[in-house]
Amino acid sequence: MGFILGAFEASIWTAISLFALVWIYSWAKGNLGSAKLAIIFAAIIVYLTFYQFPELVWLFVALFLFATFGKELFDRVYIFKP
C-alpha cells in the first residue's frame, strides 16, 4: 500500500511541476520576449522551487489560485471598492 501512495505522490508532484513550468514559461515569454531566455528562466525557477525549496510549492499553488479565482472573489466581496 505504501508503494502505491508513494507512486501517486510522485505523479502528483511531477504533474504540478510540469504545469508550473508551462505557466512560468508562458508568462516569461510574454515579458522577456525571447523563447530561449524564457525556457531557461522557467527551468531555473521550477528547479529551485521544486527541488531546492519544496515548501515554496504551496506558495505557487496559492499564487495560481489567486490569479485564477482572486479577481472574481474580490469583486463579489467588495473589499477594494468604496
Q: How confident is the model over 7-54, as pLDDT tens digits? A: 777 788 888 888 889 988 998 999 988 889 999 999 998 888 888 887
Looking at the predicted structure, is the pLDDT value of residue 80 above 60?
Answer: no
What region does 34 belong to: left with phi over 0, alpha with psi -120 to 50, or beta? beta
Least Cα distance to 42 among 54, 73, 30, 13 occurs for: 30
- Residue 37, pLDDT score: 92
Counting every residue, how long is the chain? Answer: 82
Q: Which amino acid is at 26?
A: S
